[in-house]
A and B are shown apart, each in its own frame.
Chain A
Amino acid sequence: MSGRKLTRGQIIGLIVAVVFLAILTAGLLMRHQGRPENTEAPDFTLQLYDGGTIHLADLRGKVVVINFWASWCEPCKDEARDLEEVWRRYKDKGVVFIGINWSDTESKARAYLKKYDVTYPNGPDLGRRIGQMYRIQGVPETFFVDKKGIVRKVVIQPMRADQIIAVIEQLRAETGE
């Protein structure tokens, strides 16, 4: 070892560099954190298009299907009628559907809901905050939350009615219904 001493300027420079790298690393890690799965569903309050709000935490004890969608998204259109069909089948059986309109314009979103006759609660993801909490990468993405408020399954592709029913039935069965 040469035992060369660092000057005061070098020490300060080193500290600044370490802090800078730490901040950069933390930012990158947060950005690349995965979607919540088998963890508690991030809580949110959604302002609905037809007035009122829906608060996820208030839905404990119910199976919740959270679907992120947009009117410009072609695959979302493929699953729109299937989601509505399953919602109508389960709406009185302790299952709640929530549609979250992501990165869209309100007029187009409303037209979409009307066109596909969507009746379950829907609202815009203002500021894309809910999408950030759920770490979504695009649409459609569907999160299945069990009665305890845990995200049990994440599907990042359009779903058919039978696939949605299969997941719901599994979650309902697990909770003894």
Chain B
Amino acid sequence: MRHRLYVFTVVLVVGMILAWPTTIWARTPTPNEVEAVARTLYCPLCVGERLDACEIPLCQDMKKEIARQLAEGRTPEEIRAYFVEQYGPVVLGEPPRKGINWLAWVIPVIVLVGAGAYALFKIREWSQSSPEPQTAVVTDDSAAVEDEYAARVERELAELE
């Protein structure tokens, strides 16, 4: 009898725990966790302002939404996808890498590579066409001067004798 009562109590307690609203399992995210997601998003109304640094009412609401969704167990990736759906790719701070938007990624690379190649080509062209560097011909006359001087001294000494 006592054993049955024990089993019944355990089943009842476990059943109550499982039946409890699931919200009690929801964990309140820390400010750091909210900030970490906010750092990867941009304000849809401001120009290039990151969400974690933005103080306008919409940004405040978005941060609360991040906290709410983190508490529900959504991953940062899912939260980012949610905001892109709500506000468009502007919240990612960069054009999406698809369709004509690829031009925004490809053109700067093409321009850089093209400019680099052109500069290299030009440098090589200049280095090939420039005349031979004129080397200064240093003529050391000092020895000749010295010889002439010595000869003159010799001559004058001979005259004195």
Contacts of A124 in B (CB 8 A): 86
Nearest opposing residue in chain A for B103, CB measure? A23
Contacts of A23 in B (CB 8 A): 103, 107
**Cα separation A108 to B60 with both chains bound (whole Å):** 11
| Residues in B57-106 with C-beta less than 8 Å from chain A | 57-58, 61-62, 64-65, 68, 84-88, 90, 103
B118 in the interface (beta carbon within 8 A): yes
Q: Is the CB of B61 within 8 A of A128?
A: no
Contacts of A70 in B (CB 8 A): 58
Contacts of B107 in A (CB 8 A): 20, 23
A2 in the interface (beta carbon within 8 A): no
Q: Is the CB of B86 within 8 A of A127?
A: yes
Nearest opposing residue in chain A for B62, CB measure? A105
**Cα separation A84 to B74 with both chains bound (whole Å):** 37
| Residues in B108-150 with C-beta less than 8 Å from chain A | 110-111, 114, 118, 121
Q: Mark A62-78, 1 if CB is under 8 A from B, else 0.
A: 00000000111000000
Contacts of A105 in B (CB 8 A): 58, 61-62, 64-65, 86
Instruction: Determine the main DSSP class of A at the interface with B.
Output: helix
B153 in the interface (beta carbon within 8 A): no
Q: Is the CB of B58 within 8 A of A72?
A: yes
**Interface residue tally for chain A (C-beta within 8 Å):** 19
**Cα separation A25 to B45 with both chains bound (whole Å):** 24
Q: Is the CB of B103 within 8 A of A127?
A: no
Contacts of B62 in A (CB 8 A): 105
A107 in the interface (beta carbon within 8 A): yes
Q: Is the CB of A72 within 8 A of B86?
A: no
Q: Is the CB of B85 within 8 A of A126?
A: yes
Q: Mark B32-72, 1 if CB is under 8 A from A, else 0.
A: 00000000000011000000000011100110110010000
Q: Is the CB of A103 within 8 A of B58?
A: yes
Q: Is the CB of B88 within 8 A of A129?
A: yes
A104 in the interface (beta carbon within 8 A): yes
Please list the residues of chain B having a beta carbon within 8 angstroms of any beta carbon in chain A. 44-45, 56-58, 61-62, 64-65, 68, 84-88, 90, 103, 107, 110-111, 114, 118, 121
A-B contact pairs, 15 of them (CB 8 A): A9-B118, A13-B118, A16-B110, A16-B114, A71-B61, A72-B61, A103-B44, A103-B58, A103-B87, A107-B65, A126-B85, A127-B85, A128-B44, A128-B90, A129-B88
